Structure 1
Amino acid sequence: MSRVVVTEFMDERAVARLAAVHEVLYDPALVDDTLRLAAEAARCDALVVRNRTQVCGVLLEALAPRCRVVGRLGVGLDNIDVPGCEARGLRVIPATGANALSVAEYVVATAMLLLRGVYQSTAALSAGRWPRAALSSGRETAGETLGLVGFGPTGQLTATLARALGMQVVAHDAMLAASDPAFARLGVRPVGLDELVATADVVSLHVPLVEATRGLFDARRIAAMKRGAVLVNTSRGGIVDEQAVAAALKSGTLGGAALDVFDAEPLPVAPHFADCPNLILTPHVAGVTAEANERVSFPIADRVLEALS
């Protein structure tokens, strides 16, 4: 019997599937206890994590003598030293594509909310105010242009949902040729990044955090966006300059923003976001729904079981 350590939340039925075969420590709070995490890691044959557990440095060294597999309940691998794992014989298993629909729905829903700009009036109305005139210039989603920075599986699914609402979609992906059949198949026009930024009414980010994308949307690039455009980031926080987003919202050059990911998570006190108009902040949950958690958890449980067999 092997020992499996799960450091963040996982569908408990999938945990039970693991526990039917192996000894399992399931403790979603373990990620916040660095010393105990390293101690438990040294005693495990498989480690299952989400995005907050940093599988590198001390933790990776603790895993090295015994652990055989790292299961990632999600897609991004920027919290895992993949070359370091491979050098130590550790197999890394991501849940590729399992939460794409949840992310795509989040992007489209927040874009609609921010373009219309009327859904934060509850407090005003319940206080007896009637801001009808001020809230009568929101924009319809149909006919607007969605720009996707990154056109992998999640970006492609987002494009499908957006086009069903009548949006025009353009995309830029440094890893895809303009002749890639995915563009034509989904009715999406491939463009350069500068053209996308300058013309899109909604810009949504779907790229990993690597050296080339860190700070990609800094103050200069945000200033180059179409006036009144909306920015949605469900990828990684380090790609966007949060201070620049706040400043652009307050100046009115940026029409709205939805940020689900941040450079530091959990997000510390962030006074720069105070009083920002048309801003949605969420705690890295774009890809987390009841359905997505199930789609992520069970395949990882099964593949970890396979790796340990």
Structure 2
Amino acid sequence: MYRIQTLNNISPRGLEHLPRERYEVASEINDPDAILVRSFKMHDMDIPKTVRAIGRAGAGTNNIPVDVMSERGVPVFNAPGANANAVKELVIAGMLMAARNIAPAIRFVDSVDADDSKVIEDGKKKFAGFELPGRSLGIVGLGAIGVRVANSAHDLGMEVTGFDPKISVDNAWRLSAGVNQATTVDELCAKSQFLTVHVPLIDATKGLISAERIRSMPKDSVILNFARGGIVDEDAVLEALDSGHLHAYVCDFPSNKLKAHAKVIALPHLGASTGEAEENCAIMVARQIRDFLENGNVTNSVNFPESVLPRVENEPRLCIANANVPNMVGQMTSLLAKHNLNITDMLNKSRGNVAYTMVDVDSEIPQSVADELMGIEGVLSVRLLPAA
């Protein structure tokens, strides 16, 4: 039996992929093997030493102490792309709301006698907007969400340009041929009447859309932020809105100073708030946690290398996380040879400071061997999996 602790409500459709005959799942559980989480902030949490994996039913993992888990040899999984359609639809809705001044128009109707047709007709003149075809859209980050936004905006007749120096081959294949490429963020901002960001919040992206870059954008531009609040300089946005340089700011991260501004559309973090997205995220992360616990495979981890090795029937497996330094694999294989354990298959991958090795052998592995492996300097964690 594997024991899974949930720190938030996880979609039942996802938990169905953790069968009851092998998994005990509960919010209150002792010595869990893994943790499933959505928004719960884990940085101040005393994470049990028994935890072998953490799964985030969503894309961002800034609520999880990833570096600490890496030092413990614990992979952190997420669900990239599972909520991509939900976020894409909200971005498109945000562009339409800004272009047609929908939010201030709604506030106007709420403030007047809606049965007075003259008031309505006179008032609507203040909310005349513009259409999307022919407008330029710049997209920072062409991951699962950015690519969907790019393709949908292109289908709407917009002139779309993207910036992502690390775009994956898969996402490049999915991108419409009509989407242009910018070589720098500065170049992208200077030509974008609409600008949307789809990158994680890290040191390199904090304040990425700065006052200088906002000033370089065309007059009456719109900025959309459905990624993370700190990526866009809020004070610079408000200044640009007050001066009339920006037409609107649409974001999914409200604050008191933002919501008070008439040209801001601030939503309560609705990006992935659809039943479909929550189910997709839960299903994806549950499958990944199960595959890791049962087979040692790593898919969509933010701190471990992608590592998938098919199981051989009747062969046990060792899963070893270690510091990415020389001679680790040599020490491991020498120890196995000392115990007359014959390796039938092996996979070794690395990512940054972490390396991960899966080793299949043709005979039973004593627990003492796993204990000896843990004694090798640089080894972070060792798991001994029974024969498949």
Distance 1:53 1:85, change over 3 A: same
Counterpart for residue 102 of structure 1: 86
Distance 1:152 1:186, change over 3 A: farther
1:65, CA displacement in angstroms?
A: 1.4
Counterpart for residue 281 of structure 1: 266
Counterpart for residue 203 of structure 1: 195
Counterpart for residue 318 of structure 2: none
Counterpart for residue 301 of structure 1: 286
Paired amino acid for 1:305 = R
Do the aligned residues in 1 keep the contact of 2:259 with 2:265 (CA within 8 Å)? Answer: no
Question: 1:10 aligned to 2:10?
Answer: yes
SS at match of 2:127: coil
The Cα offsets for residues 242-262 of structure 1, whole Å up to 9 and x where unpaired, read as 222223223321111111136
Counterpart for residue 89 of structure 1: 73
Identity within the alignment, %: 32
SS at match of 1:63: coil
1:211, CA displacement in angstroms?
A: 1.2
1:207, CA displacement in angstroms?
A: 0.9
Counterpart for residue 53 of structure 1: 40
In 2, Cα distance between the equivalents of 1:170 and 1:182?
Answer: 16
Pairing of 1:1-309 with structure 2 (within 5 A):
1-15=1-15, 17-18=17-18, 20=20, 21-26=22-27, 43-50=31-38, 52-56=39-43, 58-59=44-45, 62-63=46-47, 65-125=49-109, 127-128=112-113, 129-130=119-120, 131-136=123-128, 138-176=129-167, 182=173, 185-191=176-182, 192-261=184-253, 267=255, 270=256, 272-309=257-294
1:155, CA displacement in angstroms?
A: 0.7
Distance 1:308 1:113, change over 3 A: same
**Range 8-17 or range 277-286, more displaced:** 8-17
Distance 1:183 1:133, change over 3 A: same
In 2, Cα distance between the equivalents of 1:261 and 1:19?
Answer: 36
Paired amino acid for 2:187 = E
The Cα offsets for residues 5-59 of structure 1, whole Å up to 9 and x where unpaired, read as 11123213333554724222238xxxxxxxxxxxx6x732111112x33444x43
In 1, Cα distance between the equivalents of 2:214 and 2:239?
Answer: 10
Do the aligned residues in 2 keep the contact of 1:73 with 1:297 (CA within 8 Å)? Answer: yes
The Cα offsets for residues 43-78 of structure 1, whole Å up to 9 and x where unpaired, read as 32111112x33444x43xx32511011011111233
Do the aligned residues in 2 keep the contact of 1:15 with 1:26 (CA within 8 Å)? Answer: no
Do the aligned residues in 2 keep the contact of 1:159 with 1:186 (CA within 8 Å)? Answer: no
Give the TM-score of the pair, scaled to structure 1.
0.82
Give the TM-score of the pair, scaled to structure 2.
0.67
The Cα offsets for residues 191-234 of structure 1, whole Å up to 9 and x where unpaired, read as 12112111111100011111111111232322222211111111
Computed over aligned residues only, the root mean square deviation of the Cα atoms, in angstroms, reads 2.5
In 2, Cα distance between the equivalents of 1:3 and 1:274?
Answer: 43
Unaligned residue ranges in structure 2 (runs of 5+): 114-118, 295-388
Do the aligned residues in 2 keep the contact of 1:222 with 1:245 (CA within 8 Å)? Answer: yes
Do the aligned residues in 2 keep the contact of 1:78 with 1:208 (CA within 8 Å)? Answer: no
Query: How many residue pairs were aligned?
Result: 282
The Cα offsets for residues 141-185 of structure 1, whole Å up to 9 and x where unpaired, read as 1111110011122111111111111111001113249xx955974
Unaligned residue ranges in structure 1 (runs of 5+): 28-39
Do the aligned residues in 1 keep the contact of 2:160 with 2:179 (CA within 8 Å)? Answer: yes
Which has the larger share of strand? Answer: 2
In 2, Cα distance between the equivalents of 1:88 and 1:212?
Answer: 25
Q: Which has the larger radius of gyration?
A: 2
Paired amino acid for 1:187 = G
